[in-house]
């Protein structure tokens, strides 16, 4: 079997298995500066017990939520043209791509070449009314239970991204929810303060590296109780997370943006130094 580049670079040269405190050490070999490599993989992260947990509760959740999912699919079909499901290639375990399933929340653009931004911000004009409600309630993620049952995803893990946005060496299955998902639960609202032409750059240079840090820490330290805590936080505390401290790169990026086009009023809305104001961070974090 041919291993992905990321998987090959995570293996010792002599082929032996190394361990540290019963966890799999991940030596970096020919690592790219843009790729975030976890130092090792926790014993729980890729265990058969975690997969068994995902499979059992994934099947149970599919049975439980199938009536709701059918109603949502019908509502989408009635209110807008296009398929009920949105399919997109995302990066999964060992950098292998898979097709993620979500309920469609935007207008179907068919074969149109220019599909717009690859990220979504609050109030995106491409969003349908039903789609906006589904995103707010996080119900658009329900079809990913199929990905979990298939073994392409887990309930908890790093969120899978499109290839051009992924710079984490994915040494575990991606998840429906995770530490970074909760921490950046209001990312769409945060992006409303960034001009459209700079959104992609802001996501790839500011938000994604911080998400990588959180996801790498999850891969290294997660335990069964960690997954349970994240699941509970997702269900009960998604809208009440503490203020997130954004990395200093965000302030420098916003400062450069405000200096390049001072007439937009961007700096005035985000503090005199070009960084996010305390009020806006509180609302968006």
Per-residue pLDDT of the chain (285 residues; tens, 9 = 90+): 434 446 444 444 343 334 344 445 554 444 445 678 999 999 999 999 999 999 999 999 999 999 999 999 999 999 999 999 999 999 999 999 999 999 999 887 654 444 455 555 555 677 888 998 998 888 999 999 999 999 999 999 999 999 888 889 999 999 999 999 888 877 767 777 677 777 778 877 888 888 999 999 999 999 999 999 999 998 876 545 444 444 444 444 444 544 444 434 333 344 434 333 333 323 333
**Residue 116, pLDDT score:** 52
- What range defines the domain where residue 50 resides? 33-107+116-241
Q: Is position 121 within any domain? A: yes
- What is the total count of domains within the chain? 1
Q: Is position 269 within any domain? A: no
Q: Is position 284 within any domain? A: no
106 and 131 Cβ atoms separated by less than 8 Å: yes
**Residue 109, pLDDT score:** 64
Rounded Cα distance between 63 and 102, Å, is 17
Q: Residue 170 CB: number of other CB atoms within 10 A? A: 24
Q: Is position 250 within any domain? A: no
Tell which residue, 124, 61, 118, has the closest CA to residue 86.
118
Q: Is position 9 within any domain? A: no
Q: Is position 258 within any domain? A: no
Q: Is position 79 within any domain? A: yes
Q: Is position 61 within any domain? A: yes
Sign of CA dihedral 55, 225, 102, 200: negative
Q: Residue 123 CB: number of other CB atoms within 10 A? A: 11
């Amino acid at each position: 079997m041919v291993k992905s580049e990321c998987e090959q670079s995570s293996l010792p040269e002599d082929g032996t298995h190394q361990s540290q405190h019963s966890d799999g050490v991940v030596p970096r070999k020919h690592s790219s500066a843009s790729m975030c490599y976890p130092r090792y993989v926790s014993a729980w992260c890729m265990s058969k017990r975690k997969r068994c947990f995902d499979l059992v509760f994934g099947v149970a959740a599919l049975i439980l939520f199938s009536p709701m999912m059918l109603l949502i699919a019908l509502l989408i079909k009635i209110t807008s043209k296009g398929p009920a499901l949105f399919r997109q290639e995302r990066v999964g375990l060992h950098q292998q791509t898979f097709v993620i399933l979500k309920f469609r929340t935007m207008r179907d653009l068919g074969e149109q070449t220019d599909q717009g931004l690859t990220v979504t911000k609050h109030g995106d004009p491409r969003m349908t009314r039903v789609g906006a409600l589904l995103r707010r309630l996080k119900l658009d993620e329900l079809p990913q239970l199929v990905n979990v049952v298939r073994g392409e995803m887990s309930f908890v893990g790093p969120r899978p991204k499109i290839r051009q946005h992924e710079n984490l060496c994915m040494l575990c299955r991606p998840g429906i929810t995770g530490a970074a998902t909760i921490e950046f639960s209001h990312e769409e609202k945060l992006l409303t303060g960034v001009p459209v032409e700079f959104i992609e750059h802001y996501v790839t240079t500011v938000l994604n590296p911080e998400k990588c840090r959180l996801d790498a820490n999850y891969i290294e330290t997660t335990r069964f109780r960690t997954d349970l805590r994240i699941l509970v936080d997702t269900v009960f505390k998604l809208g009440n997370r503490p203020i997130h401290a954004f990395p200093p790169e965000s302030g420098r990026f916003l400062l450069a943006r405000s200096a390049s086009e001072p007439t937009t009023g961007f700096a005035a809305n985000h503090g005199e130094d070009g960084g996010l104001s305390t009020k806006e961070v509180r609302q968006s974090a």
